[in-house]
A and B are shown apart, each in its own frame.
Chain A
Amino acid sequence: METARIAPDTPAALASPSASDHGADLALSPANDVSPSSSATSIVDPPTAATADDGANGPFDREAQASGDGNSNGGNQVTFSMTAGTFSVTAALNISLPPSPARPSSPAEATPDNRAGTPPDRGTPTPNSSASAPSRLETVRSPQLSLDPPEITPAMADDIRCWICYGDYTETPSHRWVKPCKCRGSLGFTHESCLLRFIASKGDTEKPCCPQCQTPYRLISPAPASLVWLRRADALIGKAVPYVVMLGAGLSAIFVSTTYGVYVLMAMGGDEADKWLADPEWGWRVWAGLPLIPVGLVVARLDSLDRVLPLVPLWLLDAKGITVSWPPSPVTAMVALPWLRAAYKSLRRSITEAILLPILLERDPAEEELHNETDLGKPVEPAVDAEAERARREQALADLRLSNKRDMTRMSVDAIVFPAVAAHVGRALAAWVPGFKRVFPTTLLQSLVGGVVVVVAKDVIGLRYRYLKLSAARRKRV
């Protein structure tokens, strides 16, 4: 059974019954190689089964058969309708022919073997059989743009060859031949099966069309509705896959973030946090807040947030929790932290600049000499010198700040690891430093102080490192 059929891209092919007066519309007939009994089970819908059933073996037999009916009815009109899922093709069989003596009187006479053996004796294949051969040729010359199989007269048969397999018409008249484009002469004909293979070889990227005349081929797939729906579902699933993957990745990210958030809370807050988390009634704040903890940790590292950060906890946390007492409540501690941080940062900058700037401003002995030489003999204007000195200083400051840029990945890892380190340091301090537990009784406070210690230690080491690097760079010689 065939899966697709070809017709030139023209509205006529899908036109109303009146438009198809070229002849019997046999595009709807089944593949001609099937046996008579199976032909009824092919793509033709039940209404057409009456014609398809009685021994029709090929397009021409079908026509002979159909026109045989037409003879008695004197021009009946049979409407074939085929539901093809997305496509719906309605074509008509409009037969108004006088009987032709040349036509075989019964379908049995027109077996394919018979015709293959004696092509000139073949029954006239077209319903317009009253016309003589030349006029029939004309019908073909004016491109017959419909689903009809081409009209092939005995006179033409010898010239016709499939432009794809080079098979002659006379060898395979029982195959389905199509004339799907506007190409004239013998080039226009091809086996439908060859053409389908040709179109398949072009892949899906190109719109199939005739390579000579560029007429687009129109493919009709008589697909059952279930196939159409399954195909759509398939396409939909294909499209949805990347989104599902993204959704999965997002969900796992949230899952991991939440777990991490829980870990941070437990590490920093100790038993209190444990108790709080054990509360089965998690509100939306918890559900949203836990996965946001790692995000917040990283984002909080951005310098651009320095201005807003001190205000965020005030807005996020319950203001009622802010009390001035010792030990401070968790809320107070969280609110105070950003302020502490901002103050610390500005202090750190001043210290860094105070320590590192002198190295940058220190003149090379060689440069110094050069400097003196160029100025030799010229009275040095103090104002100019001061100006230059100021520019140098600004340049050095800019250099310093630029050199302090850290990359995102390092910073993120730093931020993620930080709570664990802070908590452990806090616990270690509580264990080893006498009196520490008395001043900072809660786990949260211990962790916070641990964090402060870690930050200060890290900055001191970092500063020392930069100092050594800078002075080493200064002394570098080639």
Chain B
Amino acid sequence: MPDTRRLQRELKEAASATAADGSAIKLELVGTDLTHMKGEIAGPAGTPYEGGRFVLDIKIPDTYPFAPPIIKFETSVYHPNVSSQTGAICLDILRNEWTPVLGIAKALLSVQQLLESPEPDDPQDAVVAAHYKRDRRDFERTAAAWTQFYAKTGDAATDVDFDKLGVDARAVQRLVEMGFDKAAVVRALRQAQGNEDAAVETLLSSME
């Protein structure tokens, strides 16, 4: 079992910190189980992630705090050190540089820091890292489009450059008109590599 007292303490401290200084980082339980949490970080200002709210899935291993929490992005992020498919994060302190001194909140801060300063030489997503190295401007536009679409709520998400998400805007339009959720449409289209029929099939099968 992980150290439940420490986890409770961390949760309490994170809650009071959120209450005190706005909402740079949020940490809350998913259910009643202390080993599964959700985190939320704000995209750092001055980056393509600005304005986005990124949700992270946090699993606490049995050996916590001696083993790091298992953190991955639930919100899709276009970042060299984050898998665009699974949300897995390549960050040293979440692997072998972890020490018990760090807590979950510090880990989330480090992830936020990572959004600010990508490490394309130690990539999690090779395609994204290559993009970052090849054309920084274009990378930033894509990352901003992803942020716009996935990490912002409300009207902001409607005005998105779908080309930057790697999908055809008209195809998205057509599928959305069929009654599917927009985010799901984009995900399915990306998965099907633009093939509309395949995407529809995925969407239908996921509804069952």
Partner-B contacts on A (CB < 8 A) = 163-167, 187, 197-198, 201-202, 211-212
Determine whether the beta carbon of A166 is less than 8 Å from that of B99. no
Inside 8 A of B9's CB, which chain A residues have their CB? 166
Given A166, A167, A187, A198, which contacts B66 in the complex, CB threshold below 8 Å?
A: A198
Return the contact of B65 from the options A164, A187, A212 (Cβ within 8 A). Answer: A164
B60 to chain A, nearest CB (A): 14
Interface size for B (C-beta < 8 A) is 13
Identify A212's interface contact among B6, B10, B67, B101, CB under 8 A: B101
Residues on B with C-beta less than 8 A from A187 are 101
Q: Is B3 an interface residue (CB 8 A)?
A: yes
A150 to chain B, nearest CB (A): 17
- Given A165-B5, A166-B6, the answer on whether A198 and B100 have CB atoms closer than 8 Å is yes
Q: Per-position contact with A for B101-134: 1 when CB-CB < 8 Å, else 0? A: 1010000000000000000000000000000000
B18 on interface, CB distance cutoff 8 Å:
no
Main secondary structure of the interface of A (DSSP, over half): loop
Seed contacts A164-B65, A166-B103, A198-B100; 20 additional CB < 8 Å A-B pairs: A163-B100, A163-B101, A164-B6, A164-B100, A165-B3, A165-B6, A166-B6, A166-B9, A166-B10, A167-B5, A187-B101, A198-B66, A201-B63, A201-B66, A202-B66, A211-B99, A211-B100, A211-B101, A212-B99, A212-B101
A164 neighbours in B (Cβ, 8 Å): 6, 65, 100
Report the nearest A residue to B8, measured CB to CB. Answer: A166
- Assembly CA distance A201 to B103 (angstroms): 17
Of all chain B residues, the one with the shortest Cβ separation from A195 is: B100
Residues from 1 to 54 in B contacting A, C-beta threshold 8 Å: 3, 5-6, 9-10
**In the assembled complex, which residues on chain A have CB atoms less than 8 Å from the CB atom of B100?**
163-164, 198, 211
Q: Name, among B9, B10, B103, the residue most crowded by chain A CB atoms within 10 Å (CB to CB).
A: B9
Shortest Cβ gap from B66 to chain A (Å): 4
Shortest beta-carbon distance from A178 to chain B in Å: 15
Q: Which residues of A contact B67 (CB under 8 A)?
A: 201
Most B CB within 10 A of own CB, among A166, A211, A212: A166
**A195 → chain B, closest Cβ, in Å?**
10
Contact A197:B66 (CB < 8 A) given known A163-B101, A165-B5, A212-B101: yes
CA A190 to CA B71, docked complex, whole Å: 26
Nearest CB of B to A2, in Å: 19
Q: Which 6 A-B pairs have the closest CB atoms?
A: A211-B99, A201-B66, A166-B6, A164-B100, A166-B9, A163-B101
| Interface hub of B10, B67, B99 (most chain A Cβ within 10 A) | B99
Query: What residues on B are CB-neighbors of A163 within 8 Å?
Result: 100-101
User: B2 to chain A: closest CB distance in Å?
Assistant: 11
Tell me the smallest distance from the CB of B80 to a CB of chain A, in Å.
27
- Alpha-carbon separation in the docked complex, A212 to B100 (Å): 10
Whole-angstrom CA separation of A212 from B97 in the bound complex? 11
Chain B residue contacts of A166, Cβ below 8 A: 5-6, 9-10, 103
Q: Report Cα–Cα, A48/B66, bound state, in Å.
A: 36
Chain A residue at smallest Cβ distance from B5: A165
Kindly state the separation between the CA atoms of A187 and B106 in the bound complex, as whole angstroms: 15
- Give per-residue flags for B60-97: 1 if the beta carbon is below 8 A from chain A beta carbons, else 0: 00010111000000000000000000000000000000
Bound: A197/B2 CA distance, A: 12
15 A-B pairs within 8 Å (CB atoms) are namely A163-B101, A164-B6, A165-B3, A165-B6, A166-B6, A166-B9, A166-B10, A166-B103, A187-B101, A198-B66, A198-B100, A201-B66, A211-B99, A211-B101, A212-B99
